[in-house]
Structure 1
Amino acid sequence: MHVSSAQPKPRIAISACLIGQSVRYNGGHKASELCRQQLQAHFDWQPVCPEVAIGLGIPRDPIRLVGDPAQPSVVATRNPGTDFSGPLRQYGEQMADHLGDICGYIFMQKSPSCGLERVKVYQDNGHPAPQGGTGAYAAAFCARRPDLPVEEEGRLHDPVLRENFISRVYAYADWQRLLADGLSRGALVRFHSRYKYLLMANNPQAYRELGRLLGSLRREDDPQEVGPRYFSQLMQALRRCASRGTHCNVLQHLSGYFKDALTPQDKAELQTLIGQYQQGEVPLVVPLTLLKHHLRNHPDPYLQQQAYLQPHPESLGLRNAV
């Protein structure tokens, strides 16, 4: 199907403490079993610790966010006179430019340098602001790389968020290969046609909008101008997680391709499994496996190239849990 084992592993930046490097303020690490056991075989890690990179020692005085949650300062807890937000933001911008070949980033949650959301931002009264903020390094990095799939390790323990993030990593890697081969009008249309059903599952509205964007392409339009705009919108759209309802809609669309090929019993069996998935009785992999079985017996070139059928290697088992 879609993701081939022949492709090089996608490269993912990751907070160094998550893969067991002892870089935390207390000299420890936060090794993630999920990253080290489930994901490591599939990705090349690019470990980063911004605090060590800007010259803070190990161990070190812990740092925290203070002030305006939208633009907090980063100070040492014992020596609040030193502000590290400038160096951390600068390093974030520098790494965003430097790590050109990554296809995703897994950040350490709650960290004043790396947390993506809900990081405590302390106020003058000594209490954190209710809304929380973003780590200084992560904020600067993500502002420069808005299309890059990013997630916090803590959120990856949710099977739906994990499946969504990793689908986006592989889509991002796929686009990088297309750019390396040369962005033509035909390549852009073929790429979109592969991602149609994944888009329909994640974001039906964006599915229609991106279809219109490419449908209105004129011969004289420059793919170098339309391509990046298309890809930005695609990556934003795929951030929405598919629901059982939107998955069922796609499964029904796919089963429509077999309406003349299957016996009434086969059709009934497929509808039963789609219904059981919709009710939450079986995971997505169950109706999908039957659909792929019918696709092998009744090949359809348009369906066979759909990213939706295999947006990531089957051995990751991500659809056994959604």
Structure 2
Amino acid sequence: MVNILTSSDKSNTSGKKITVGISSCLLGDSVRFDGGHKRFHFAVDELSDYFEYQQACPEMAIGLPTPRPALRLVKSDENSVRLKFSDGREGDLTEEMLQFSTTYLSGLLNLSGYIVCKNSPSCGLERVRVYDSVGNGNKKSGIGLFTEQLLKVMPWLPVEEDGRLSDPHIRENFIIRVFALHELNELKKNSFNRHSLIDFHTRYKLLLLAHSQPLYRELGRFVASNNEWDSIDSYFDEYRNKFMNLLQHQATRRNHTNVLMHIQG
């Protein structure tokens, strides 16, 4: 794996850090249902040199205490997924969670990434247990309600959970996307016009080529058509979606070889 957190990147620690969202329990805060935490070493001890964390515990944010009864996702008779207590007590927390998520995330559109907690009914990214309406069977087929809203509000955002980030390839891909989106966000905020966006794309061409050759060519055609868009802001939004979707594809050895041959000419 290429170590992209090199000494040359240390300049990031002397200036403004990259704003990344994170589940509070992963920073070591005792906010879980059992009064504990899930401190994530990689986020706390390594990425904190580069990232400034915007933390939240959605379950605490909707007024639940710690410790508290565990929550679970339950498929209702109407086939919708609801957030309920696992001990069978009355209470449906779905609307409270959705309302908090929508309000909270609307103020965080400057994020460059998000790290969520594995298996959580509020924050899990994938394979969260979903129980049937009587609480017997379950399938690992769900996504936490907060994270589901996060992906809807910011579909371009790099989002990973602590468990998946133990995989070196997923970890590298996530960090690449976070740094790339941060630079794109800074471009939009400070010196954005058609010319600066084309310059940005040109600098990233070889990296994009390593991630997906077909999408690289498709994005190149899109950049070439920028004058066809009346709204530069709408064009930026679409470019960001396409750019981040391309980087989500993991780079392959074959594509890296192609890039090196491209450089060699």
Is the pair's TM-score, using the shorter chain for normalization, greater than 0.5?
yes
Contact kept, 8 Å, 2:229 with 2:235, in 1: the verdict is: no
Alignment of 1:6-45 (within 5 A): 7-45=15-53
**Which position in structure 2 is the counterpart of 1:142?**
151
Shift of 1:8: 1.5
**Which position in structure 2 is the counterpart of 1:180?**
189
Cα deviations across residues 30-78 of structure 1 (Å, max 9, x unaligned)?
0111212221211111111000000000100100001069841010112
Alignment of 1:162-173 (within 5 A): 162-173=171-182
Shift of 1:199: 0.9
**Which position in structure 1 is the counterpart of 2:86?**
77
**Which position in structure 2 is the counterpart of 1:98?**
107
> Please, which runs of 5 or more residues in structure 1 have no aligned partner?
257-322
Shift of 1:251: 2.0
Are 1:128 and 2:148 matched, yes or no?
no
Shift of 1:225: 2.4
User: 2:196 and 2:231 mapped to 1: Cα distance?
Assistant: 13
**Which position in structure 2 is the counterpart of 1:107?**
116
User: 1:112 and 1:219 mapped to 2: Cα distance?
Assistant: 44
Residue 251 of structure 2: which of 217, 234, 242 is its match? 242
The percentage of aligned residue pairs carrying the same residue is 38
User: 2:180 and 2:79 mapped to 1: Cα distance?
Assistant: 31
Q: Which has the larger radius of gyration?
A: 1
Cα deviations across residues 74-103 of structure 1 (Å, max 9, x unaligned)?
101124421111111111111211223321
CA RMSD of aligned residues (A): 2.1
Contact kept, 8 Å, 1:95 with 1:141, in 2: the verdict is: no
Cα deviations across residues 79-137 of structure 1 (Å, max 9, x unaligned)?
442111111111111121122332110000100000011000011361112x5110111
User: 1:220 and 1:237 mapped to 2: Cα distance?
Assistant: 21
User: 1:135 and 1:217 mapped to 2: Cα distance?
Assistant: 37
Are 1:87 and 2:96 matched, yes or no?
yes
User: 2:105 and 2:244 mapped to 1: Cα distance?
Assistant: 17
SS of 1:99's equivalent?
Answer: coil
SS of 2:160's equivalent?
Answer: strand
Are 1:48 and 2:29 matched, yes or no?
no
Shift of 1:179: 0.8
**Equivalences, count:** 255
Contact kept, 8 Å, 1:188 with 1:223, in 2: the verdict is: no
CA gap 1:220/1:112 in 2 versus in 1, 3 angstroms: closer
CA gap 1:71/1:244 in 2 versus in 1, 3 angstroms: farther
Contact kept, 8 Å, 2:109 with 2:154, in 1: the verdict is: no
**Which position in structure 1 is the counterpart of 2:3?**
none
> Please, which runs of 5 or more residues in structure 2 have no aligned partner?
1-5
User: 1:220 and 1:86 mapped to 2: Cα distance?
Assistant: 39
**Which position in structure 2 is the counterpart of 1:5?**
11
- Output the amino acid matched with 1:41: D
User: 2:246 and 2:115 mapped to 1: Cα distance?
Assistant: 19
Cα deviations across residues 1-27 of structure 1 (Å, max 9, x unaligned)?
995715511011111001100000000
User: 2:202 and 2:137 mapped to 1: Cα distance?
Assistant: 51
Shift of 1:214: 1.3
**Which position in structure 2 is the counterpart of 1:67?**
75
Structure with the higher fraction of residues in strand conformation: 2
User: 1:246 and 1:145 mapped to 2: Cα distance?
Assistant: 28
User: 1:85 and 1:23 mapped to 2: Cα distance?
Assistant: 19
User: 1:4 and 1:189 mapped to 2: Cα distance?
Assistant: 27
User: 2:160 and 2:250 mapped to 1: Cα distance?
Assistant: 13
Alignment of 1:202-217 (within 5 A): 202-217=211-226
